[in-house]
């Protein structure tokens, strides 16, 4: 029997929204967790992990980061990877070389970090007084912070921990050079496999785009992307569905995906299930947009709209906030408001889970879904 779009949709849900487990195992399953600094009502990495980690509370990843054997770095986006996957991208070589003056500043900062063990950006700024620079948004940033970011990306530093959300850096030992070209190809193939394991099933156009983004993860091997993509298409399971080629890991069978549970899920904007906006429209028939950086007057869904999955359909969205210790929820629907009792009960359960995740005072009664 040919693969169908509903089968692909159920498979996408089933393979990522698994039963919650301990945090280390959840990180291993995901492979990569995209990060975002906005907190509305929590950071994207926490909103992603809350569905996949038993008893997860916002901030657990930051609190436990030093003990988890993971790294912060840029993959296809910025986020968190296990040490094994992180090592695949290094030694990283960037195309634009620093000037001798900037390299001298980096060398001095690296020596300072090695002497201190771990440093906050303000310590570097206080010691070197690098001044200010214009950032990507046209505003002003500390030059020390920008230099530390560049040193981190080049593999000279690692994030040792975060203090109140700010990266604290430690020096990293130099990465060993690769033995030969076959090692490069093996690493690029493994990075593509990490992409597919995270985001499958993937439309061909999205697979192409994500492999292309490996130019940020491993710019030194960017020339190998075309080969890596072609090799992946030969290795992966695939089907032509509704005019589009789809790809997923060999050995998985979309037709075997179970019927989704009668549950409501409020998903992070960068959750692997909804990250690909192209696939989102194919699966659910409407355009979801992340509007945090959109002027308020032009927003349709809200500042930080969380896609609302009910059974196997994304039926709307919710904006969740905390005011004076109380959770506030505004729910919107793509179609008519759902009046099914089962949905009301499932939504109430989800809001109770969100409430516990945010670490708010225990709820005395139910009824949040109706109030929303």
pLDDT digits (tens, 9 = 90+) for 90-109: 999 998 899 999 999 999 99
β-pairing, 132-134 vs 140-142, is: antiparallel
pLDDT at residue number 305:
98
Instruction: Report the distance separating Cα 291 and Cα 335, nearest Å.
Output: 20
Q: Give me the mean pLDDT over the 307-315 stretch.
A: 98
Q: Kindly tell me if the per-residue pLDDT of 369 is higher than 70.
A: no
pLDDT at residue number 46:
98
Residue 23 φ/ψ, nearest 5 degrees: -55, -45
Q: Which helix (H) or strand (E) holds 211?
A: helix 204-212
Render pLDDT for 166-187 as a digit per residue (tens, 0 to 9): 999 999 999 998 878 999 999 9
Q: Please give the structure tokens belonging to residue 279.
A: 């696939």
Q: Kindly tell me if the per-residue pLDDT of 131 is higher than 60.
A: yes
Give yes or no for a contact between 128 and 109, defined as CB atoms under 8 angstroms apart: yes
| Across 52-61, 130-139, 232-241, least confident range | 130-139
Q: Kindly tell me if the per-residue pLDDT of 283 is higher than 70.
A: yes
Q: Kindly tell me if the per-residue pLDDT of 364 is higher than 70.
A: no
Q: Which residues of 109-131 are buried (b: 16+ CB within 10 A; e: fewer)?
A: bbeebeeeebbbbebbbeeeebe
Instruction: Report the distance separating Cα 3 and Cα 241, nearest Å.
Output: 7
Instruction: Report the distance separating Cα 102 and Cα 315, nearest Å.
Output: 51
pLDDT at residue number 299:
97
Handedness of CA 219, 225, 231, 233 (dihedral sign): positive
């Amino acid at each position: 029997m040919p693969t169908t779009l509903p089968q692909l949709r159920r498979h996408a849900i089933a393979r990522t929204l698994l039963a919650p487990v301990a945090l280390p195992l959840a990180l291993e399953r995901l492979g990569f967790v995209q990060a975002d600094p906005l907190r509305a009502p929590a950071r994207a990495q926490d909103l992603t992990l809350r569905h996949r980690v038993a008893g997860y509370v916002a901030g657990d990843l930051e609190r436990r980061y030093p003990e988890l054997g993971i790294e912060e770095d840029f993959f296809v986006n910025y986020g968190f990877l296990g040490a094994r996957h992180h090592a695949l991208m290094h030694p990283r070589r960037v195309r634009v070389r620093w000037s001798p003056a900037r390299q001298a500043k980096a060398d001095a900062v690296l020596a300072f970090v090695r002497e201190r063990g771990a440093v906050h950006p303000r310590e570097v700024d206080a010691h070197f007084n690098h001044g200010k620079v214009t950032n990507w948004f046209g505003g002003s940033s500390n030059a020390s912070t920008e230099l530390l970011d560049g040193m981190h990306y080049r593999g000279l530093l690692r994030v040792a921990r975060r203090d109140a959300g700010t990266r604290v850096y430690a020096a990293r030992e130099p990465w060993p050079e690769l033995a030969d070209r076959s090692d490069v190809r093996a690493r690029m193939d493994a990075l593509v496999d990490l992409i597919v394991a995270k985001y499958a099933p993937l439309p061909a156009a999205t697979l192409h785009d994500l492999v292309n983004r490996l130019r940020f993860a491993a710019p030194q091997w960017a020339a190998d992307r075309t080969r890596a993509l072609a090799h992946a298409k030969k290795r992966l399971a695939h089907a032509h569905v509704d005019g589009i080629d789809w790809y997923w890991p060999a050995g998985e069978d979309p037709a075997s995906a179970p019927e989704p549970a009668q549950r409501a899920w409020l998903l992070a904007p960068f959750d692997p299930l909804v990250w690909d906006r192209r696939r989102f429209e194919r699966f659910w028939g409407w355009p979801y947009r992340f509007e945090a950086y959109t002027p308020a007057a032009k927003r349709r869904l809200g500042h930080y709209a969380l896609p609302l999955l009910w059974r196997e359909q994304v039926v709307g969205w919710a904006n969740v906030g905390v005011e004076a210790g109380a959770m506030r929820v505004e729910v919107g629907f793509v179609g008519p408001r759902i009046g099914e009792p089962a949905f009301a009960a499932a939504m109430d359960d989800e809001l109770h889970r969100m409430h516990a995740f945010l670490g708010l005072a225990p709820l005395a009664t139910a009824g949040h879904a109706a109030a929303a």
